[in-house]
Amino acid sequence: MHTPRLMACLLRAGVMMLVAGAAYGQNYPYKPIRIVTSEPGSGTDLMARLIGQRLTDSFGRQVLVDNRGGTLAREVVLKAPPDGYTLLLSGTSLWLSPFMREHAPYDPLRDFSPITLAASSPNVLAVHPSLPVESVKDLVALARSKPGELNYASGSTGAPTHLAAELFKAMAGVDIVRIPYKGTGPAINALLGGQVQVMFVSTTSVAPHVKVGKLKALAVCTAQPSVLAPGLPTVTAAGLPGYEATSLFGMFAPANTPAALINRLNREIVQALNRAEVKERLSSAGVETIGSSPAELAATMKSEMARWGKLIKSAGIRED
């Protein structure tokens, strides 16, 4: 049983920790911050640079973008001290990659502190014009009549272009063969050339080709119609109820980062995302800003892991 003296000491210690954490948050930052993310030229790279520029202005300290590639970026932040000076901007691979590996080097819920669900990017179901379909229902009917004869292009294993197609196959009960490519660019080129018939791809990547008639867009993969894909029905509304495959992007810090710092970072990053020029620039790149609370990002991760984890396991998807 705790004595009154011991209880008083514990209470004082707790108060001191709270005060210290609050002070730490107020004095932050006193040196440059880095946002670790994927390769230069990617959507996350653009987002990191736009956020970094606004944080540099608001903090009065330089915010640098450190391009490391997906796997290495996660490792860098995983090993960084929880002091708010090393952040990670990552897509869904952060919380889905462990399902595709026999021995995952981290637990996405335990080893990273969520800051904000920064943005989302809708995918579009596109087909080559030679395919005799005009809707999702047409595609499903054709695929069911020709099991194993249609194929789809995707980037690397586990990429959104891959998982979106596998979810479609599972929900529609069709057999469409995957043809993997080293990245989205080569995959789109194969679709344009007619080497493959189907692809799930970002709106910005497919829009120019749809506009000139080189590809047909059948539906957008979001739960609700998207302003980034005007005029397109959702896959759900077009014949496959419940289907959704949207790319998400979150900002994280190492595990055990003080709550005061997480709250400060959340406030500043959400403000940056809500800037009109940031929204406009990201929209032109096919990205919709969100800016959630840390708790909302954590809840989204848990929901995504439950939904996609089942698919990854049943489809036997393993990282290359």
pLDDT tens digits, 179-192: 999 888 899 999 99
Q: What is the CATH number that goes with domain 33-121+247-315?
A: 3.40.190.150
Burial class from Cβ neighbours inside 10 Å (0-12, 13-18, 19+) for residue 136 reads buried
Q: Which of these, 201, 194, 159, 164, lies nearest to 180 by C-alpha position?
A: 159
Per mean pLDDT, which range of 35-44, 164-173, 196-205 is the poorest? 35-44
- 3-state SS record for 71-119: HHHHHHHHHCCCCCCEEEEEECHHHHHHHHCCCCCCCCCCCEEEEEEEE
Residue 7 scores a pLDDT above 80 = no
Report domain extents, the chain: 33-121+247-315, 122-220
The two tokens of residue 112 are 């990273």
Average pLDDT, the chain: 90
On whether the CB atoms of residues 248 and 298 are closer than 8 A, the answer is: no
Residue 21 scores a pLDDT above 70 = no
Q: What is the model's pLDDT at position 243? A: 95
d(CA 149, CA 135): 18
Per mean pLDDT, which range of 12-21, 51-60, 182-191, 192-201 is the poorest? 12-21
Which spans in the chain are helix H?
4-27, 43-59, 70-79, 93-96, 136-145, 160-172, 184-192, 203-211, 259-273, 276-284, 294-315
Residue 14 scores a pLDDT above 90 = no
Residue 195 scores a pLDDT above 60 = yes
Tell me: the pLDDT tens digits for 69-101?
768 899 999 999 999 999 999 999 999 999 998
Q: Which position has the higher pLDDT, 145 or 22?
A: 145
d(CA 299, CA 293): 10
Fold match flag (33-121+247-315 vs 122-220): yes
CATH 3.40.190.10 fits 122-220, yes or no: yes
On whether the CB atoms of residues 36 and 87 are closer than 8 A, the answer is: yes
Top mean-pLDDT range of 15-19, 60-64, 207-211:
60-64
Tell me: the pLDDT tens digits for 107-151?
999 999 999 999 999 999 999 999 999 999 999 999 999 999 999
Q: What is the model's pLDDT at position 25? A: 54
